[in-house]
Amino acid sequence: MKIEGLLSEKYIVLNLELASKRQVIEKMLSIVADHDGVNDIGKLQEDVFKREQDMSTGIGKKIALPHAKSAGVSQPVLAFATLRKEINFDSIDNEPVNIVFLLATPEEMLAEHLKLLGRITRIAGREDVRQKLIHSTSSAEVLALFREEEKDFPQI
């Protein structure tokens, strides 16, 4: 399981114009609502917002990674977006965000969930990768970037 294997062009949106953290999370959830792995979007939404309430998923370096282990999904679900304007996400470094990933995995996939969070953080945490993501002009370009970055990574 790799990021580029979980993502598809359908779940990548570039240059979203949104004004709040809540709008961003709601938009990310709407992007995956028809994903084959989502069997209960209401439960997934509940779990993602509950996780966000526990602690912000603004992980620093202008990245937000709303995520949840949820009975609302039957397989890992991943979406990616860039924001036209940076927004406050209550990030740990107090910086606004402009790159957003949404990750949801079934509750029983804890190890895979943690490994995917780590991989996303490790790759997107690099300045050169963030710059390429922000300046991407197509979903295909985003997928190609992850494919290239993960070529030497083992499957999760």
List Cα–Cα distances, 121 to 61, 64, 124, in angstroms: 10, 10, 5
Q: Given this model, what pLDDT does residue 57 score? A: 96
What confidence tens digit (pLDDT) does each residue in 123-143 have? Answer: 999 999 999 999 999 999 999
pLDDT given for residue 60 in this prediction: 96
Cα 1 from chain centroid? 15
pLDDT, tens digit, for every residue of 22-36? Answer: 999 999 999 999 999
Domain boundaries, the chain: 3-149
Structure tokens at 17: 């114009």
User: Homologous superfamily of 3-149 in CATH?
Assistant: Mannitol-specific EII; Chain A (3.40.930.10)
Distance, in Å, from the CA atom of 64 to the CA atom of 97, rounded to the nearest integer, reads: 6
